[in-house]
Each structure stands twice: as C-alpha cells, then as structure tokens.
Chain A
Amino acid sequence: MSWLEKIFGSSQPKSAQLARERLTLVIAHQRAENEGQPDFLPDLQKELIAVISKYVKVSSDDIKVQLEKKGNYEVLEVNIVMPEPGVR
C-alpha cells in the first residue's frame, strides 16, 4: 500500500464486496438445489409445450422452465429454443 493510498484510501473494489457477491450466487444456487423446484413446474412445462406446439414445431427438450431466487423475489424463467428457420 503506498502512502497516498494510506491517506486517501484505495480506489480498487474492496475484496469483501466481491466475497458478498460471489456468496450470494453460490448460496442461492445451493438452496435451490436443497429445496428442490416447486411441484407445479413439470405440469407448467407440459402445458407450455402443448400450447407452443400448436404454432411452432418444438420438442419437449426445447422448453426449459426454471425458478430462481434472487434476493427476496423469485424469477420464473421460461426458455424456448425456436427451430431453425425453414423447419417452421
């Protein structure tokens, strides 16, 4: 640490802040695994596939439904992989 930094403080991000950010992610992940996904997700996924299949040709693997906890709120993420153009 230089004498200037000693007086005015360093402008680099503090390592404790990094630790907090990394742990927030790791723990959210760990808890999601522990608690398991809520039981309505498989049904939701099936119905979504049924609806989307009416309009676009997708297989069951192309739709992923996930619930993630971010802080105090939950995010429902629905990921649909569209078929290649031309197959439609």
Chain B
Amino acid sequence: MTEHNNQIRENPVTRIIVVTSGKGGVGKTTTSASFASGLALRGFKTAVIDFDVGLRNLDLIMGCERRVVYDFVNVIHGEANLNQALIKDKHCENLFVLPASQTRDKDALTEEGVEKVLKDLEHMGFDYIICDSPAGIEHGAIMALTFADEALVVTNPEVSSIRDSDRILGILQSKSRRARDGQEAVKEHLIVTRYSAKRVEEGEMLSYKDVQELLRVPLLGVIPESETVLQASNSGAPVIHSKESEAAEAYQDVVARFLGEEREMRFVNYEKPGLLKRIFGGA
C-alpha cells in the first residue's frame, strides 16, 4: 500500500498540510476545498482551516457560509470550543471546516493559539489538517505554514505567480517550525493550476515542466483551466464533486498521487487541429 496510508493506519499521526502560493487568486482556496474533500472521500477524517482572517472565503467555496456561528479566532480566544466552531461538510462524511473570522485582523492569530487548536484537532483524531493560507508573506501566511508537515504550493504558469511561489518556498525553508527546530524539512509538492495545454503548445504559456524546473519542487498535479471551477464556486460545492469535469478529475489524481498511487498526468497534451481546420476555422 501507500506510504501515507501505512503511516495513518499503523502509527496514527495527524499530518498538517499548508496550501500556499504567495500570490493571490491562483487557486489556493479552490485547491484546499477540493484536496480536503478528496481526502475525506477516501475515508480520512479531515479538517480544513481558513487562515485568511478578515477576508474569509473558504466557507463560500465549501458552501457553508450560512452555518458559520463561531470561527477560528473565537476558538483561539476561548470564546467558543472547537466542537462549536467546526462545521460539518454537507458533501462528505469525514470533513469539517473551521472558518476564519471576518471582523478581526490577522494579528489575532498567535503562534501559541494556532498551535493549541492544531493539537486539539490532533487529539480529536483527525488524520489530516489542511491550512488554507492567505495570499502574501505577512503574518497570516506565516501562521498557516508554521506547523506544516507538508506544503502544497499552488502556482499558475505565469511569471509573477512563479516568482512568488519561489519566495514562499524560501519562507517555508526558513520560518516553518520544522526548519527552525532543525527537523526533517517540510515536504513540498507543486500544483500547477489554470493550465492550458493549447497555449503551452502555441508557446504562449510556460509548460508544467518549465514551472517544475524553475521551482525545483516535485510535481503533484496539473489542474487544467476549466469553466467548472467557477460553476463550482457559484454553487458552493468544491469542484472535485463536479461530474464530467476535467478539473475534478485532475484533483482526484492529485489526491491519489498524494496518497502514493501512480497516476499519469492528464489534460497536459493538446492535439493540434489539422491543416484544413486551421485554414477553414475552428480552434
């Protein structure tokens, strides 16, 4: 079986995974929602935490915005307990959402407070905790990555996103608890999102191999640019649940690879239309 499965079954430990990128709008929350849902669908007890205090959005993407009563900051300040603040996902049995506060600012997250919440989740028997990082490299983003065992670095094949991802990798390697304590480094994974095989073929977009070579992080998956991502966020159901969606299938592959299964990269090749089609229209 897989490395991760074995770890969970034989030696139950909670794995903390940060979803981060540096740049905003590249698909962190979309990835957090679908990745967490995918793990839960595989039977793992999973919590997904919104670290974007002041600008919460994970609740909308997960479709639970009307059920938010208490939030992450309430729990840190002892105004509510975890059971009160955790929202059970309506699509998956083993998934819980911890929303961010809408009214506080990011300094409300203290390192001790975050650590205590993560420890408590561990004691509640969670297999995976997904930390949805805010954009930027400020306090909120640092808090999201501080306790990570693994990191999903979400990157668009575009210059500013790649440079920012490289910055956040440097921060992971210096400011995470593992780095500071001299433990085994945070395990990094690259997810390239909004990928257009057609534009890559035309030489107008960096290929996933280019991105991987530049950032030097093992590739976990490529998510194609897809209309279903917007449809999913419109309706408040993570895109991994969408039927007949390439993005959904790509996220399922990401989860499978993360759990140690071999999956070929899909949606990365573009079939050029024939000469006649190019003359007479189409593509």
Chain A residues at the B interface, C-beta cutoff of 8 Å: 3, 6-7, 14-17, 19-20, 22-24, 26-27, 30-31, 34
Contact = CB atoms under 8 A, between A and B. Distances in A.
A20 B214 contact: yes
Size band of the interface chain B makes with A: 20 to 34
Contacts of B278: 6-7
Contacts of A17: 203
Contact of A27 (B158, B174, B200, B214): B214
A20 B206 contact: yes
A3 to B, nearest CB: 7
A71 B34 CA distance: 35
B162 interface: yes
B279 interface: yes
B204 A16 contact: yes
10 contacts: A6-B279, A7-B278, A16-B203, A16-B207, A19-B159, A20-B206, A26-B159, A31-B166, A34-B170, A34-B173
Contacts, number: 48
A9 B94 CA distance: 51
B118 interface: no
Interface in B152-177: 158-159, 162-163, 166-167, 170, 173-174
Top-3 shortest CB links A-B:
A14-B203, A34-B170, A27-B166
B174 A34 contact: yes
A31 B162 contact: no
B174 A14 contact: no
Contacts of B275: 7
B228 to A, nearest CB: 25
Nearest to B210: A20
B279 A19 contact: no
Which of B204, B207, B275 is packed against the most chain A CB atoms within 10 Å?
Answer: B204
